[in-house]
């Protein structure tokens, strides 16, 4: 009976395929998303406390299964190559960022990228003068969009129906001021400072650091 109970509890703790994904806000633009077998890490690992943004303890991030790091650009509040080299994780990122890294760990950059059931579409977007990419991720029938640091609204408005949009406070404010189309069931505001006043909307949530939440169809 105890064995059966343990199995049932274990199954309950793993999101059902095609049902929900479990997400956790690590800090900055770093989101940990898993289906219990594969984990997606966005803009992680990054340098803790870089540019006055959120601090975290690298050793406390323990993703399950095969792990993909999806990086928008090379600023240190989004990426730390030294920390990445301490792991056995895979990486999808702009071409300039992956140079000098082990090619066996790199998902080839292209119009469509694939990793353990994830289909990833990179969208080149503007952020200062750096090579910056936003991403549309399709996984278990869910459509997730990660803006990164871009100030450009076109990627979001052209993304179509989304199950979750991950967006910075400044880009969301620009989208709302322009009455731009955002067809998203859930809007997750990330890369905010602790206690920062952020834009409000009906489907918006601003997770606290370490908070977990589901992404459902």
Task: Give the tens place of pLDDT for each residue, 137-186.
Answer: 999 999 999 999 999 999 999 999 999 999 999 999 999 999 998 999 99
Residue pair 129/81 in contact by the 8 Å Cβ criterion: no
Secondary structure of residue 176 in the 3-state scheme: helix
Least confident among 50-59, 161-170, 171-180, 189-198: 189-198
pLDDT at 15: 42
pLDDT at 10: 37
Sorting pLDDT into bands at 50, 70 and 90, what band is 194?
A: confident
CA dist 153 and 56 (Å) reads 29
Give CA separation, 115 vs 73, 178, 186, 215, in Å: 19, 35, 24, 19
CA dist 141 and 36 (Å) reads 16
CA dist 138 and 50 (Å) reads 30
pLDDT at 71: 98
Query: pTM for this one?
Result: 0.90
More confident residue, 19 or 209: 209
Q: What is the mean pLDDT of the chain?
A: 91
CA dist 58 and 26 (Å) reads 10
Token pair, residue 25, equals 């806000």
Strands 38-42 and 66-70: parallel
Q: Each residue of 94-119: b (16+ CB within 10 Å) or e?
A: beebbeeeeeebbbeeeeebebeebe
Q: What is the mean pLDDT of residues 100-121?
A: 97
Q: Each residue of 27-49: b (16+ CB within 10 Å) or e?
A: bbbbbbbbbbebbbbbbbbbbbe
């Amino acid at each position: 009976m105890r064995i059966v109970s343990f199995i049932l509890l274990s199954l309950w703790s793993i999101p059902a395929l095609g049902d929900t994904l479990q997400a956790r806000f690590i800090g900055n633009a770093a989101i940990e998303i898993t289906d219990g077998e594969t984990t997606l890490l966005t803009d992680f690992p990054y340098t803790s406390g870089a540019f006055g943004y959120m601090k975290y303890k690298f050793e406390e991030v323990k993703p399950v299964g095969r792990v993909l790091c999806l990086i928008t650009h090379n600023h240190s509040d989004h990426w730390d190559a030294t920390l990445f080299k301490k792991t056995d994780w895979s990486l999808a990122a702009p071409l300039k960022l992956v140079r000098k890294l082990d090619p066996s760990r790199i998902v080839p950059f292209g119009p469509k990228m694939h990793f353990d059931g994830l289909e990833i579409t990179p969208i080149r977007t503007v952020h200062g003068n750096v090579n910056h990419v936003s991403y549309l991720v399709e996984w278990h029938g869910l459509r997730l969009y990660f803006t990164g640091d871009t100030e450009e609204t076109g990627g979001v408005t052209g993304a179509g129906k989304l199950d979750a949009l991950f967006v910075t406070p400044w880009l969301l404010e620009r989208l709302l001021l322009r009455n731009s189309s955002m067809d998203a069931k859930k809007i997750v505001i990330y890369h905010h400072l602790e206690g920062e006043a952020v834009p409000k909307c009906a489907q918006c949530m601003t997770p606290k650091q370490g908070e977990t939440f589901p992404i459902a169809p």
